[in-house]
A and B are shown apart, each in its own frame.
Chain A
Amino acid sequence: MIADDITSAIVNALTSVAPEVDPMSIRPGVSFRDQLDLDSMDFLNFVLALHDRLGIDIPERDYPKLYTFDGALAYLASKVTGNHL
């Protein structure tokens, strides 16, 4: 359930900065920047959207953990539940 919520939050955050993205086409292990052509402002907005949706604080030093879908899922799950999925 938590994984579904986080997946949904990631997809919503991504499509808020890159509306043309088809969620089904996202490759989980590939950098968002590379596959979706996000720049630093897009990535910042993506992280802020996750912050708004999940209510968690994400230190800047942890941003690299959010570079891929798999990485973001694992990181956010650990922040939400205190444990990795």
Chain B
Amino acid sequence: MAERYSSFNSGGRMWLLQRVTAAFLIVVLAFHFFLLHFVHHADEVTLAASSARMEQLSYYSLMVLFLVTATFHGVNGVYNALINQGLTGTKRTVVKWTLVAASVVLLFQGIRTANAWAGGFPLL
């Protein structure tokens, strides 16, 4: 039987979420890079073009879901990397809630930015 190297609890909810978000992010990150570097070019970015994309509910929803999953996957990955390093006890609790707070700030600011592009939540 294969030996386990992971710091995750096998079969745990966070273990599964890390993998489900990974599968989603592989596809959406590839799309994001392709659209904004190969179809359009980063040096041709304009507020109007970004707004036009974000005003579409499908694109807005995809980007917000991209932000949420990337934040979870990244921050949870950092947390598990630190646990791998032997983080325990009070330090572990402090790090956990600091990461949760950083995630909340990132999501808040990201959604504010998306809403600024879209001129509010896109309804159509």
The reply to whether chain A is a binding partner of chain B is no
